Amino acid sequence: MTPTVVLPVIIGGLYAAGVYLLLDRSLTRVLLGFLLLGNATNLLLLSAGGAAGLAPILGVSDPEDMNDPLPQALILTAIVITFGISAFVLAMIHRSWRLVRQEVVGTDEEDRRVAARKGTDADELDPDDLVPADRPAGHADGLRGADPDDVPADDIDLPAGTR
C-alpha cells in the first residue's frame, strides 16, 4: 500500500482550472469553476484517508487491509452539499438572465457612486461650485423667477420652500 502520485497531480490540476474559472465574470464559468474546485476538494479528502485499501465492510475484507471509511462519509456529505448549492446557483443564473439578459457578476452601483466622489464628502460640496444641472434639488436657484443675484449663496440645507 504505497501512496499514489496520481491523486495529488489531479487535485492540483483541478484546483488550478477551478480557480481560473472562478475568477471569470461570467456566472456559468464561475459555476463550472466551483464544481471543479468541489471535486478537487473531495479528492483531497479522499487522499487524506491514506493509501488505497479494500472496502471497509466487516466480513468482506480483513480490517488490516481496509480503507479508512470516515473520509468517504465526509465526501458523501460534501457531494450532497455541492449538489444543492450548484442547483441554487444555476437557478440564480437563470433568474439573472431572465431579469437583465446578463449572467455576469454585477457592479455595485452605490459603491461606484461613493467612489466617484472627488475627495470631499457630499456634505461639504458647495453647490455654487457645481454646474447648475448638477446642483441638488432644493438649492437656492430652484426658486423660479427669483433674481439669482438676490439669493445668497447657501451651502447648508436651507429649505427653499420657506423663503
Partner 1 sequence: MTSVLAPLPVLLPLLGAAAALLLAHHPRAQRTLSLVVLTAVVAVSVVLLFTADAEGATAVSVGGWPVPLGIVLVVDRLSALMLVVASTVALGVLLFAVGQGAADRDEDTPLSIFHPTFLVLVAGVSNAFLAGDLFNLYVGFEILLMASYVLLTLGGTAPRIRGGITYVIVSLTSSLLFLAAIGLVYAATGTVNMADLAVELGELPEGTQVLLQSMLLIAFGIKAAVFPLSAWLPDSYPTAPAPVTAVFAGLLTKVGVYAIIRTQTLLFPGGALDDLLMWAALATMVIGILGAVAQTDLRRLLSFTLVSHIGYMVFGIALGTAAGLAGAIFYVAHHIAIQTTLFLVAGLVERQGGTTSIDRLGGLARRSPLLAVLFFVPAMNLAGIPPLSGFIGKLGLLQAGVAEGSALAYTLVAGGVVTSLLTLVAIARVWTRAFWRPPTQAPIEDTAAAAAADAGPSGGGTGPGSADGAGELTARQVAWRRHTRVATAADPDIAPAAGAVRALRPLPRTMVAATAALVTVTVALTGVAGFLYGLSDRAAQDLVERTPYVESVFDAPTAEEAE
Q: Nearer Cβ to partner 1, position 108 or 150?
A: 108
When asked if residue 81 is in the footprint of partner 1 (CB under 8 A), the reply is yes
Q: How far is CA 144 from CA 106, 153, 158, in A?
A: 40, 15, 16
* Residues paired with residue 61 on neighbouring β-strands, in sequence order: 58
Q: In the set 17, 52, 74, 151, which binds partner 1 (CB under 8 A)?
A: 74
Q: Is 66 in the site for partner 1 (CB under 8 A)?
A: no
Q: Please say which residue, 17 or 74, places its beta carbon nearer to partner 1.
A: 74
Question: What cell was used for 107?
Answer: 457592479
> Do the beta carbons of residue 23 and residue 71 sit within 8 Å?
no
**Window 96 to 155, contacts with partner 1 (CB under 8 A):** 96, 99-100, 105-106, 108, 110-111, 114, 117, 121-123, 133-134, 136-138, 142-144
d(CA 16, CA 30): 13
